[in-house]
Chain A
């Protein structure tokens, strides 16, 4: 069975541009969470979606938005990119997204903002 997939793998953008990152969860999983990981730190929670509805939002500016589609795949959008947005963006898949659900990460998208 395929695991969590993310695209693209790498991305280089310039300040002020917009970016869209994509994620497909494990087959049968209905929840997707997004995390940002900067070098030397643990991942930071951005959003969680379950059954196309936002279940949680982390402490990120409104430039960050996301959505989940009927097939449970998800997009993370970041507008007006800043240098500080350079990071590894991780998508995590879980069956129902509840507190006791294990989350499985995709390979990540490495975003570089110049």
Chain B
């Protein structure tokens, strides 16, 4: 079982729709979770961080965390063609002295069609 799993996609949604990106993780003690966006040929850009169960909203983005189910998701409302990118889920593992180590999923490719 991979430590952080994402569907690789591609996920295709029409412009204006809601895009839903999902991520599961194996370390039940993980405490911090991050979503990054990566355009082709560029480096990852931080979108959201979430640490507590529930929803966290920032503009058109909503991150959802369910620690009991070991599940974190990212919703993008009113999707735009400029949102087309690979979305990376990252988890900070809980084992002692791991500091800021992030474990990434393989990423989900999102395509927003005009």
Number of A residues, CB within 8 Å of B: 30
Number of interchain pairs (Cβ within 8 Å)? 75
* A106 closest partner in B (C-beta): B43
Number of B residues, CB within 8 Å of A: 26
User: Is B98 located at the chain interface by the 8 A CB criterion?
Assistant: yes
Asked whether B34 lies within 8 Å of A99 as measured between CB atoms, the reply is no
Known: A40-B106, A100-B32, A100-B51. A31 touches B100 (CB 8 A): yes
Q: Which residues of B47-102 have CB atoms within 8 Å of chain A's CB atoms?
A: 49, 51, 88, 90, 92, 97-102
Asked whether A58 lies within 8 Å of B100 as measured between CB atoms, the reply is no
By a CB distance below 8 angstroms, the chain B residues around A105 are 36, 43-46
Instruction: Identify which of A33, A45, A50, A90 gathers the most chain B CB atoms within 10 Å of its CB.
Output: A45
Asked whether B43 lies within 8 Å of A103 as measured between CB atoms, the reply is no
By a CB distance below 8 angstroms, the chain B residues around A58 are 101
In the assembled complex, the Cα of A101 lies from the Cα of B105 at a distance in Å of 19
Asked whether B97 lies within 8 Å of A56 as measured between CB atoms, the reply is yes
> Chain A nearest CB: distance from B74 CB in Å?
15
In the assembled complex, the Cα of A103 lies from the Cα of B97 at a distance in Å of 17
By a CB distance below 8 angstroms, the chain B residues around A98 are 99-100
Task: Digitize A55-66: 1 where CB-to-B-CB distance is under 8 Å, 0 elsewhere.
Answer: 110100000000
Task: Digitize A86-114: 1 where CB-to-B-CB distance is under 8 Å, 0 elsewhere.
Answer: 00101010100111111111111000000
Asked whether A103 lies within 8 Å of B102 as measured between CB atoms, the reply is yes
User: Is A7 located at the chain interface by the 8 A CB criterion?
Assistant: no
Q: Give the A-binding residues of B (Cβ under 8 A).
A: 4, 31-32, 34, 36, 42-46, 49, 51, 88, 90, 92, 97-107
Can you list 9 A-B contacts (CB < 8 A)?
A40-B106, A50-B99, A56-B98, A56-B99, A99-B32, A99-B92, A102-B34, A102-B49, A107-B43
